């Protein structure tokens, strides 16, 4: 049984088609078809039902799949552990990042990563939703959020402090909110599907101590599926936006945006996460990429 044949079977199971598996592995579709046929001949079973439009596992294929995945992962881990030639990262890294994070922080890292690692290739999917890492063949996703419970493995890279900001033109026209209650009277610029912003209270109102979360319902006639859209609308004077500090510091320094401090609460700090599809192995190419991201996030602002 050839490991490369097994790799085709695993990739096709995740991708849902042989042609997509071939694309991900960088081989011709005909080669993928021959390798799958070779694996089935070696095992003397049919692993997949396949037509020109669909692919599905046979009962034998479903039984064999976890063993095939373990075989491929074990081979990759063995190669990674034996890689002591000092050449750094190698192979194709498929990474998914939020659009704004990718443009602002990831893309500036790419040229040096490729220059320092001649055998390294990077494919970046800029998407503000979390893809199915297994089905899409993604090695790593970077996400900024409260992560929901899932079977995925997440590693915290850094805290992600945020600021409430607005353009000077908007503040001149509408004034600045003084507290969370004032936000009800302002135009807010949230992500699509977001109806509330979360703030953290920590102080005394009258004779009462207030701590913990408060959720402010938004008065909004605008939303965007990308934080980049919220940022652009905010720069144009469209309203208030709640944006990551790494995204708006340059705008604040240049006077394009103004940071707004509320009397009764501060924006909730969420986190930046590295999300993996498996616990079995973190390949050198993933470690090199994560190290570069960590270094960038740790750098103090100029």
What CATH topology corresponds to 91-160+271-298?
D-Maltodextrin-Binding Protein; domain 2 (3.40.190)
Residue pLDDT, tens place only, 89-130: 777 888 999 999 999 999 999 999 999 988 888 999 998 887
Q: Can you tell me which residue has the tokens 């085709």?
A: 8
Separation of alpha carbons 212 and 265, rounded Å: 9
Tokens for 274?
């590295």
The tokens for 150 are 């899932």
The whole-chain average pLDDT of the chain stands at 86
CATH T-level fold of 3-82: Arc Repressor Mutant, subunit A (1.10.10)
Sheet of 162-166, strand order: 241-244, 162-166, 258-260
91-160+271-298 against 162-268: fold identical = yes
CATH topology of domain 162-268: D-Maltodextrin-Binding Protein; domain 2 (3.40.190)
pTM (two decimals): 0.71
| Domains of the chain by residue range | 3-82, 91-160+271-298, 162-268
Picking from 6, 280, 30, the residue whose alpha carbon sits closest to that of residue 139 is 280
pLDDT tens sequence across 23-58: 888 889 899 889 999 999 999 999 998 776 678 899
The kind and range of the H/E element at 196 are strand 196-205
């Amino acid at each position: 049984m050839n490991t490369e044949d097994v790799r085709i079977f695993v990739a096709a199971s995740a991708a849902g088609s042989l042609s997509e598996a071939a694309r991900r592995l960088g081989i011709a579709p005909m080669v993928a078809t021959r390798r799958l046929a070779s694996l089935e001949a070696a095992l003397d079973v049919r692993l997949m039902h396949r037509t020109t439009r669909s692919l599905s596992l046979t009962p034998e294929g479903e039984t064999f799949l976890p063993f095939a995945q373990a075989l491929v992962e074990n081979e990759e881990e063995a190669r990674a552990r034996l890689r002591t030639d000092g050449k750094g990262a190698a192979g194709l890294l498929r990474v998914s990042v939020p659009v704004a994070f990718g443009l602002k922080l990831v893309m500036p890292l790419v040229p040096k990563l490729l220059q320092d690692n001649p055998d390294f290739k990077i494919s970046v999917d800029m998407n503000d939703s979390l893809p199915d890492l297994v089905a899409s063949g993604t090695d790593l996703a970077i996400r900024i959020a409260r992560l929901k419970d899932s079977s995925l493995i997440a590693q915290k890279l850094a805290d992600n402090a945020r600021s409430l900001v607005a353009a000077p033109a908007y503040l001149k026209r509408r004034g600045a909110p003084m507290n969370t209650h004032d936000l009800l009277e302002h135009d807010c610029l949230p992500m699509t599907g977001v109806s509330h912003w979360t703030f953290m209270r920590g102080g005394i109102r009258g004779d009462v101590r207030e701590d913990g979360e408060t959720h402010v319902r938004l008065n909004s006639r605008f939303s965007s599926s990308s934080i980049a859209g919220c940022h652009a609308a905010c720069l144009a004077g469209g309203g208030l936006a709640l944006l990551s500090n790494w995204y708006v510091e340059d705008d604040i320094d240049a006077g394009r945006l103004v940071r707004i401090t509320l009397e009764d609460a501060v924006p909730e700090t969420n986190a930046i996460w590295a999300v993996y599809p498996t616990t079995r192995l973190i390949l050198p190419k993933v470690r090199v990429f994560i190290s570069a991201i960590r270094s960038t996030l740790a750098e103090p602002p100029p």
